[in-house]
Structure 1
Amino acid sequence: MPARLPHPATWALLAMLAAQLLVWAWGRGMYANEEITPPPPPALSLKLAAMGDDQFLFRSLGLHLQNFGDTGGQVTPLADYDYQRLYGWFLALDGLDPLSDYVAVIAAQYYGLTPKNEDVRHVVAYLRAHAAKDYASNWRWLAHAVYLARHRMKDNVLALEVARELAGLPIPDLPPWTRAMPAYAMADLGEREAAIALLVAIMATDAKHLTPEEVVGMEKSIRKWQRLGEGGQP
């Protein structure tokens, strides 16, 4: 009698079990002293390990991501993490739940506090990638990326690039202040006349959509840049 081949479902079960063992092996590295930031698992392995329940795996690994290096009584400085690997983890978890902002919050408001500028660059890159998945819902993360580039990294060229990406989005009812963001990066780069012209244009075309506080802030910035252009003090 010929040997019976395993049922296809058996092979599928074995494949999922192997994937879970693979993720478990990666998970062991999360707690190893010698490796604070384990390498991110491939997207296919995550899908197999989820066994159809992406949300459970997303939440479980999200909690691990939030606590990398801070388990077993350890406290790890943000400067000690491998941000190239963190970037991979951010994208991998987004693949499990592309609608959630949980990973974006962790990236921007926790890992984005690292004192190393080049590490912040990975966070900015991720926030741009996350926003691009659905600009209509995620455009605010571009604004946060501008903040990180301009105020944390002091990289005004990158800040202007991201600000222009945000300002150019074809989204109805996008707040007027998003269109104004490039002006502040331009002023930081010494392009004060262009910055003034942009704010003046926004105030002329979107006045009814601006709050009184926004108008006062723009007018104050214009006066400051005009004084600087005349060689005066800010």
Structure 2
Amino acid sequence: MSPRAPVKPLSAVPRAVLALLAAALAAQVLWQAGAPAPRARASALPPAPSLAALRLAALGEPVALSKAAMLYVQGFDEQAGVSIAWRELDYGKVALWLRRVLELDPRGQYPLLAASEVYGAVSDPARARLMLEFVHERFLEDPDRRWPWLAHAALVARHRLHDLPLARRYARDIRLRATGPKVPAWARELEVFMLEDMNELDAARTLIGGLLRDGLITDPHELQFLSERLDRLHQSSEPRQQDGGPKP
């Protein structure tokens, strides 16, 4: 083994070389300090692959791939410490990814939760409506299992978008399509509250009467609640006497 070459002390390096290195280091530090912070862009989210391609990539484990795909989509909210506001995301791409996740795992609920409660909470009404419509379309595929998310979408339409007709449309579809034994009575009654908010009292009375007449409500407490509400609606529709007006 050849002997190691002696290490020269720092004092042996020419001063001109040291000055050049120091200048290069200072320039690097100044450039890093002055460079703009990296900004993740929503366009970085690529279009979702086809379902056939995803099933091929799943290698017989579609549920596992659906969970990984969901994490992949949500990972674009935080990239290298840079947050992306939901309103900057391409919601068309987000909706397609959520759809693919559901197609890989039809019994999964998280994509619908994310659409209605996370992405649907965006302050941009157009994007929020896109997410609510996504929930509605997916609800139609499996109403008896996916009704909770459409109920939430109806409330978002009512209280955030202040769109009562849209809220009523969602509530009506729950009443007409989510007819399984595990769907609670209050979900079918949601349309009543929307009609009352719209001041459609005649329609609300008709709906309550239909629910009572058709035997769709069997719980005694629910029956009492609806009966009392029907009585109040009847009372509110009676003409009120004006002060100083003729008495009957």
Same fold (TM over 0.5): yes
Once the two structures are superposed, residues 27-58 of structure 1 have per-residue CA deviations (whole angstroms, 9 ceiling, x without a partner) of xxxx9823254322222221222233222321
Distance 2:170 2:228 in 1: 20
2:172 pairs with 1:164: yes
| Aligned residues of 1:66 and 1:106 also touching (Cα < 8 A) | no
**2:89 partner amino acid:** Y
In structure 2, the CA distance between the partners of 1:132 and 1:148, relative to structure 1 (3 Å rule), is: same
| Aligned residues of 1:127 and 1:142 also touching (Cα < 8 A) | yes
Shift of 1:115: 0.9
Q: Counterpart in 2 of 1:74?
A: 82
| Aligned residues of 1:160 and 1:182 also touching (Cα < 8 A) | yes
2:94 pairs with 1:86: yes
| Aligned residues of 2:205 and 2:230 also touching (Cα < 8 A) | no
Q: Percent identity?
A: 24
Q: What SS does the aligned partner of 1:115 have? A: coil
In structure 2, the CA distance between the partners of 1:225 and 1:167, relative to structure 1 (3 Å rule), is: farther
2:236 pairs with 1:226: yes
Shift of 1:167: 0.4
| Aligned residues of 1:108 and 1:123 also touching (Cα < 8 A) | yes
Shift of 1:224: 11
Q: What SS does the aligned partner of 2:77 have? A: coil
| Aligned residues of 2:122 and 2:128 also touching (Cα < 8 A) | yes
Q: What SS does the aligned partner of 1:60 have? A: helix
Once the two structures are superposed, residues 74-105 of structure 1 have per-residue CA deviations (whole angstroms, 9 ceiling, x without a partner) of 11222111211111111111111111112112
Once the two structures are superposed, residues 159-207 of structure 1 have per-residue CA deviations (whole angstroms, 9 ceiling, x without a partner) of 1111111101262433222222222222333312222343355467567
Q: Counterpart in 2 of 1:43?
A: 51
Distance 1:85 1:231 in 2: 58
| Aligned residues of 1:43 and 1:92 also touching (Cα < 8 A) | yes
| Aligned residues of 2:119 and 2:131 also touching (Cα < 8 A) | yes
Structure 1 stretches lacking a partner, 5+ long: 1-30
Distance 2:155 2:220 in 1: 21
Shift of 1:122: 1.6
Q: Which segment drifts farther, 211-220 or 149-158? A: 211-220
| Aligned residues of 1:146 and 1:162 also touching (Cα < 8 A) | yes
Distance 1:142 1:117 in 2: 17
Q: Counterpart in 2 of 1:194?
A: 203
TM-score when scaled to structure 1?
A: 0.71
| Aligned residues of 2:185 and 2:222 also touching (Cα < 8 A) | no
Q: What SS does the aligned partner of 1:226 have? A: helix
Q: Counterpart in 2 of 1:96?
A: 104
In structure 2, the CA distance between the partners of 1:225 and 1:48, relative to structure 1 (3 Å rule), is: farther
2:183 pairs with 1:146: no
2:126 pairs with 1:118: yes
TM-score when scaled to structure 2?
A: 0.68
Q: Counterpart in 1 of 2:145?
A: 137
Larger-gyration structure (1/2) = 2
Q: Counterpart in 2 of 1:109?
A: 117
2:69 pairs with 1:61: yes
CA RMSD across the alignment: 3.4
Count residues in correspondence: 202
Q: Counterpart in 1 of 2:192?
A: 183
